[in-house]
Each structure stands twice: as structure tokens, then as C-alpha cells.
Chains A and B, each alone.
Chain A
Amino acid sequence: MIAEAIASLLIVTGAAFVLLGSIGLVRLPDIFTRLHGPTKATTLGVGAIVAASSVAAYAVNGDISLRELTIPLFLFITAPVSAHLIGKVALKDAAARRQN
């Protein structure tokens, strides 16, 4: 019961931050500021949802699974790479436009 409440709270929190990332994508003015939204949604948003999964699994099975932890781990490794590449291309593109 308590575990269910904690898991629900974590899911709502996580979903809220993922939503905030999407709102940021819409509201922020240019590509560099927009990049901030999605990279952040994956950190706290997905982190909270995965934590909810861990809590729920513990409540149902009674064992602590480390497998969930690999999801944010892989996300934390890959998210900066895509952001880095998009940012780098955008910067080169902006420089090229300025020259023309």
C-alpha cells in the first residue's frame, strides 16, 4: 500500500518532468535552448519512472532488482552523445550561414 503510493508519486513526478521537457521544446526560442529540454527529461523524468518500477517490483516480489538501473545508465551514456552531435551540427550550420 505504502509502496504503491510511493511508486505512483514517482510515476507522476517522472511524467511531469518528461512533459516539462516537451513544453520546453515548444516554448524555447532556438535550437540550442531547445536541446536543453529533451536531454533533461531523460535524466530526472526517466530516472523517477525507473525508480517507481524498482519500488513496485520490490513490493510485489520482495527482491531488489538491479536490472532497472541499467536503463538510466544507458540513457545517461547515450543522451549526451546525441545532444553533442546535434549541437555541433547546429553550430557549424550557424557559422556557415553567417559566411553566406
Chain B
Amino acid sequence: MSPRPDSFGRRLLPQPVLTLAIVALWMMLQSDAGGGTLLLGLALGLLIPIFTSVFWPSRLRVFRAGAAVRLVGIVLYDILVANIAVARVVLGNTRNIRPAFVDVPLDMDDAYVATILGSIITLTPGTLTIDIDMDRRIVHIHGLDVPDPAAVIADIKSRYETPLKEIFGC
């Protein structure tokens, strides 16, 4: 299915997932969903990955849309619930909180997927990605109120890392 390295198809379409994402984004930004809009979107979707291919050393091979939709649902739900928890921390006695640094061991090799994981950690309230260390394979995170570091790690691994590995097949 996937073309040989440096084959013509690979050079023309280095990042098929990125191409699809750009076309979808372009269609969202335009108010009319006509053929001309789609054509321009396709042109951008084809050209941008080629011109930015230097920034994308690895190529996403798998993308399971169903699992991605499920992960987005989990993340949105967590943002909603955990925001209220952070609100309570902020309004309560801020001297009683236990901020802590936690190292979450990574179970993947792809730096881009790790970056997505890091972004999700930052977006969900209570945790913040400080550093992603692909050599030591850890995500260095800061928690606003961490009574139990092991629980935070287990939460991140089961809620976000496992679905991400399923989506990108790594």
C-alpha cells in the first residue's frame, strides 16, 4: 500500500494526512463550499506539504478516524470536568495545593505523536507539559495539585496515550 521511499508518489504526496487536514481546514474557513473552493484547497493541500517536507522527517502511515473521534470526545469531556476542578483550586486556599513535577514514561517512538500527547496534557486542566524528552522517552509534566503522581501517570497513559497509539498505529 505505502509507496517505496522516494518514489514519485511519495515525493508528490509526502504527507497524505496533512493534505487531507489542510483541505478540510480550507473548506471550513470558506463560507461557500463550491467546486472552486475545493480546487484551491486541494492545490494548497498538495503544495504546502511539499514545501514544508523538511519539517516532517517521518510520515504518518496510519490514521484511524473512528478512534480519533473517540479521543476528541474524551479530551473535550476531560476539559469540561477538570476545568471545574481547577476552578475550585484557584478560588480555594491556594496554599494547600500540592504542585509537583511528574515524569510520564512514553511508550512510543514517534516525536509527532508525542507532541500531540504533550498538547493534550497541556489542554486538559491541572497538568502542563514542560518538556518532551524523546531520548529518555519521558514527558516532563507539571501538575497543579498532585496528591498521587502514580494516578496522574496511569490516567494519562490510559486516557490519551493508548488511544493515540491506536489512531496512529505506533
User: B28 contacts the other chain (Cβ, under 8 Å)?
Assistant: yes
Q: How far is the CA of A77 from the CA of B122 in the complex (A)?
A: 10
Residue from A30, A66, A77, A91 with most neighbouring chain B CB atoms (10 Å): A66
Chain A residue numbers with a CB within 8 Å of B28 are: 66-67, 69-70
Q: Please give the number of chain A residues whose Cβ is less than 8 angstroms from any Cβ of chain B in the complex.
A: 35
B94–A27 CB distance below 8 A: yes
Of B34-42, B78-86, B155-163, the stretch lying at the interface with chain A is B78-86
User: A58 contacts the other chain (Cβ, under 8 Å)?
Assistant: no
Considering the complex, which residues of chain A in the window 45-95 have a beta carbon less than 8 Å from any beta carbon of chain B? 47, 65-67, 69-70, 73, 76-77, 79-81, 83-84, 87-88, 90-91
Q: How far is the CA of A28 from the CA of B125 in the complex (A)?
A: 14
Q: How far is the CA of A66 from the CA of B26 in the complex (A)?
A: 11
- A-side interface residues toward B, CB under 8 Å? 17, 20, 23-24, 27-30, 32-33, 35-37, 39-40, 43-44, 47, 65-67, 69-70, 73, 76-77, 79-81, 83-84, 87-88, 90-91
- B-side interface residues toward A, CB under 8 Å? 25, 27-29, 31, 79-80, 83, 86-87, 89-91, 94-95, 97, 99, 118-119, 122-123, 125-126, 128-131, 140, 142, 144
